[in-house]
């Protein structure tokens, strides 16, 4: 039984906070078009409200904040052309841009799975909290797409060549990795999230920055950071082909596993991803990257690369 559309996202006031909870736990809180519109409306209303001092974003259940956009609905819409896909992405990207420049503190709780569209909702926020359950990724090249929702902008601003590595391979990050890659800011144990939210909502809770600073803990070592030398030495090449050649020449276990991950991914999507990340490095703002992403994802939808990727991997 499907969840009624009006319950797919819970939007309410709690104390001084506007609280948004993605509420499709059986679908790992995947983002639908109606959810995009509901969040957009709430954020614009709260931006003008003197009763709302900050915004909290989280997800229902313990498995995910948001596992991505509702790619099945996009796939199913293909028989009517690209109209729905264009509308979905345009409004989703508009929401991502709003979150990035929101005038009030925006706290995204990146607990559980956070991928694709979930990254767009959370990693552009002013305050990004991960836990020991967090798994973040931009796996779009596996389904014939590029990291979108501002993903190329985020990847372009990861340290060294890490962005190219994450974008091409779709490698999953834990909480420490996400902080290292600049997709997140602070680690808070999942058992402390109720207290964190309560303090954030409390009108006498103090500044948002201070509340998070008091509750955050050391995230521990980043497994991905341990491979910095290999990542920078290989993924700083000037093309996907050159990266694959260097991985083959390296001959290490890590290089072989990385090449094996890339091998089945869409060559077209990987080439466009690599170029988009490189271009985003010199762009002045997120919105410029979103414009490029919009053109690329619609192209990949209309030429069949994305629908075929979804059919092969999901349908």
Catalytic sites, residue numbers: 69, 117, 140, 148
Distance CA 131, CA 192 (A): 9
DSSP state of 183: S
Which tokens in the block code for residue 41? Answer: 């409306």
- Tell me if residue 65 falls in helix, strand or coil: strand
Closest residue by Cα to residue 269 from 138, 132, 147, 174: 147
Q: How many residues does the chain have?
A: 315
What 3-state class would DSSP assign to 31? strand
Helix (H, G, I), strand (E, B) or coil at 107: strand
Look up tokens 């709003």; give the residue.
98
Task: Write the CB contacts of 271 (distance below 8 Å, at least 6 apart in sequence).
Answer: 239, 240
Q: What are phi and psi of 91, to 5 degrees?
A: -75, -35
Spatial separation of the C-alpha atoms in residues 102 and 150, rounded to whole Å: 15
State how beta strands 17-22 and 9-14 pair. Answer: antiparallel
Residue 48 near residue 98 (C-beta atoms within 8 A): no
110 CA to centre of own chain? 10
């Amino acid at each position: 039984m499907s969840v009624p559309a009006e319950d797919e996202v819970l939007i309410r006031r709690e104390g001084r906070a506007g609280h948004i909870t993605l509420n499709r736990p059986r679908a790992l809180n995947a983002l639908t078009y109606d959810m995009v519109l509901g969040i957009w409306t709430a954020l614009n209303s709260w931006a003008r409200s003197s009763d709302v001092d900050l915004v909290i974003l989280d997800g229902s259940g313990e498995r995910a904040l948001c596992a991505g956009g509702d790619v099945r609905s996009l796939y199913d819409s293909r028989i009517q052309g690209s109209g729905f896909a264009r509308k979905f992405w345009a409004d989703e990207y508009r929401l991502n841009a709003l979150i990035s420049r929101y005038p009030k503190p925006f706290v995204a709780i990146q607990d559980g799975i956070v991928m694709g569209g979930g990254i767009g909702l959370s990693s552009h926020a002013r305050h990004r909290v991960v836990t020991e359950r967090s798994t973040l990724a931009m796996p779009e090249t596996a389904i014939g797409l590029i990291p979108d929702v501002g993903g190329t902008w985020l990847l372009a601003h990861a340290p060294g060549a890490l962005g190219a590595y994450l974008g091409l391979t779709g490698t999953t990050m834990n909480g420490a990795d996400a902080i290292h890659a600049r997709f997140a800011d602070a680690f808070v144990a999942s058992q402390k999230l109720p207290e964190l939210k309560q303090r954030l909502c409390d009108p006498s809770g103090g500044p948002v920055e201070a509340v998070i600073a008091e509750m955050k803990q050391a995230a521990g070592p980043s497994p991905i950071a341990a491979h910095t030398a290999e990542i920078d030495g290989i993924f700083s090449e000037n093309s996907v082909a050159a990266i694959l050649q260097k991985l083959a020449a390296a001959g290490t276990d890590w290089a072989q596993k990385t090449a094996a991950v890339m091998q089945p991914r869409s060559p077209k999507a990987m080439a466009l991803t690599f170029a988009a990340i490189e271009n985003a490095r010199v762009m002045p703002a997120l919105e410029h990257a979103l414009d490029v992403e919009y053109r690329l994802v619609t192209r990949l939808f209309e030429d069949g690369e994305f629908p075929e990727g979804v059919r092969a991997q999901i349908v």
